[in-house]
Structure 1
């Protein structure tokens, strides 16, 4: 078969085959990046799905081999290819382990985008994707209405009745997981945008804060704690009006065009603000925002702004650690287990900073064995693949039981909800907190 002509910006394989033969010409996985994999296997034990399934195609090395086979025309994108790409948690632990620093996260997101373009979807899947990605996540008003409904479900006693009756056990596993992940307290008041919060005492700077999706609704108390900590630390905080979802979940699910549209929306809003940094307190959102420069790198209108934006994004723990905490009004005591969010540790290289902040308030920080292995949340992975997610969560819960801490701390919304669900189901009455909630408790 004659080779296709190379598309603009797509590299030619080193052995003179066209790298996107089985992919479309629009944003295929980077063939040069695929070729950088040396097949050494260092990633295998770090891959959660390989540890659970023990199947080579469900390891980073295996997935890269499948991508290469499609790129070289030896394999078509088919349902099996799709399943091997989608069963990946996109946790990026393989990137930390890889001696060649292969950017696997970008490869698997591009592969899912290719699947989205190539394979047909059932009517049910199309509806579900529209509801989640074009509806709830893209429209804060809809997510706010859903939160009010969940607040009513909790405050009227329906949740307690449903859990005691056993009716939840009859639901499909994804719905049981979604119900089980609901926080113990569901706020009625969601986080407002278009507000500026003045610094307390001598002003040290001005920052902008991403409101987010789940963070501004179900987990609005964490946003409130974040603002209190930042203002007490001397930073004026602006929460710009008009911002929306960061697009991380869309990119993970292969909805690349939606992700880019959301990125452009946020760029237009945040780049109007004169701030020292753009802060985020959800690790998956942080990775996405730090990669806006890559998402929009070929967009002549937005490329420069996206690169400038990404250089200003900081996780809130990263920012506070670099700024240094003011003297604390009180110190906390006890042992705290810290769970590394995948997209903070592997995606952003932020590991020591949250631990230093927890130690600064007086806590003894204990690391979980394999603490940087995914807990199974991974965006909506625990809903789409509940069995694998449950197996990963069980390992975390057992490790926490053995260590017997006074609290569990993390720095990402999904991890927090996942761990709280697992501990509650195991009968462990342990608080699960975000780092900023601990800092707020200490009056930081």
Structure 2
């Protein structure tokens, strides 16, 4: 009998060491528990936009029944990689590593397409790995935003006439921080007893877009007896590169960070960004086949701690000063889903006097940020964000707290777009604010006493 099935070009099938592992791929039994956890399935109702559907396509390519055609790849591209399906899955399917490996296969075949993907590629390959160029780019963005040029461009509508994609990207441009975080090579020592010596990841983006927030992280750690080392030579964690399938660059970045942080000789490596923490906690999986780094990576990940996780385990000292906010919290996907850390940020918020904490309906559902997803899949990103903003409006909160820079920028855009007048802040910012109020309250009476003593 002649096999009538079409022959698939082998170059369009999975191959090489970064192909999805069959032992992981066939754990999926297609039960469907993941469907209601998936933001793209909830937006479309389409099986092919669900984890189950995407894995079915992976299996079909793996078995040679179909190839990595544009239509097949499109369904994988629309995955935001939030990993909510992993939490819902009773079979323990490691969807994150499967989609990561699949995107690595896709990148071997992909042709550079539309402007958003071209822009994202330029940022990943040329700007983010070069800290000097990244700092220059952010500096130019700061000039653009603060000289009135941005306001003029937006009012003119010129960008939308040139390119809708370009206009959408400009609308979501994050606000540059008032100051850059420049502490590499420094050791920041607390007043009083040193309880722990920790290394802090500054990374690539946060020092430039969240400089003030990074300084708050250092103050919080110092306040709780931590000597903070900011190792020189560290760099991007590789999270965004791995999202788009560039595992070669990700591995290079991982090795660099492992070497730098290992040489620092610390008790823990503290990560203030959920996405970075998720990536760095999986360096062991990323480098498991590298004989020179497999053991180093396994040792390294044991020291990697999310900032909230670390503070609660330390434990941190709750502040005594009140801050009068009604606060809700959005679980960043790579903290809640990838690292399974959900209670620590809430413990910190609930420890702050004066904070009225209210749960956000669907707090664990993705906000639509997803690394470069806000650029490459703008329409879907905004649809998912819209659902999140609907939930936020029901809370009546003054502050929407989160734990990841990408989420913060996305949520900030959503709040501003709807004119809600709320603040979007990191959890550590709120803790730092309470600590500073406490310090100011302690200083005021001592000054008053000193003035009284000066009087004749």
2:27 match: 36
1:89 match: 80
2:363 match: 371
2:341 match: 350
Q: In the alignment, does 2:411 pair up with 1:430?
A: no
For residues 193 and 228 of structure 1, the distance between their equivalents in structure 2, rounded to whole angstroms, comes to 16
Alignment of 1:132-147 (within 5 A): 132-147=123-138
SS of equivalent to 1:147: helix
Cα drift, residue 192 of structure 1: 3.5
- TM (norm. structure 1) is 0.91
Q: Does the CA contact (< 8 Å) of 1:77 and 1:119 recur in 2? A: no
SS of equivalent to 1:90: coil
* 1:26 aligned residue (7, 17, 32): 17
Q: In the alignment, does 2:170 pair up with 1:179?
A: yes
1:284 match: 275
- Deviation readout 1:164-211 (Å, 9 max, x if unpaired): 333454464543343333445533534331111112221111111111
**Residues 1:123 and 1:348: Cα distance change in structure 2 (over 3 Å):** closer
Q: In the alignment, does 2:411 pair up with 1:419?
A: yes
Q: Does the CA contact (< 8 Å) of 2:141 and 2:176 recur in 1? A: no
Q: Does the CA contact (< 8 Å) of 1:154 and 1:186 recur in 2? A: no
Which protein has the larger Cα radius of gyration, Structure 1 or Structure 2?
Answer: 2
For residues 427 and 116 of structure 2, the distance between their equivalents in structure 1, rounded to whole angstroms, comes to 36
Q: Does the CA contact (< 8 Å) of 1:181 and 1:420 recur in 2? A: no
Is 343-352 or 218-227 further displaced after alignment?
Answer: 218-227
Alignment gaps of 5+ in structure 1:
1-19
For residues 425 and 228 of structure 2, the distance between their equivalents in structure 1, rounded to whole angstroms, comes to 22
SS of equivalent to 2:235: coil
- Deviation readout 1:254-300 (Å, 9 max, x if unpaired): 11101101111111111101111101111111110000001111111
**Residues 1:52 and 1:171: Cα distance change in structure 2 (over 3 Å):** farther
For residues 120 and 347 of structure 2, the distance between their equivalents in structure 1, rounded to whole angstroms, comes to 40
**Residues 1:207 and 1:177: Cα distance change in structure 2 (over 3 Å):** farther
The number of aligned residues is 425
2:206 match: 215
1:12 match: none
Q: In the alignment, does 2:216 pair up with 1:225?
A: yes
- Deviation readout 1:65-86 (Å, 9 max, x if unpaired): 1111111111111112211111
For residues 379 and 357 of structure 1, the distance between their equivalents in structure 2, rounded to whole angstroms, comes to 26
Q: In the alignment, does 2:291 pair up with 1:300?
A: yes
For residues 64 and 353 of structure 1, the distance between their equivalents in structure 2, rounded to whole angstroms, comes to 32
Q: In the alignment, does 2:187 pair up with 1:196?
A: yes
Q: Does the CA contact (< 8 Å) of 1:44 and 1:61 recur in 2? A: yes
- Deviation readout 1:132-151 (Å, 9 max, x if unpaired): 22211111111100111011
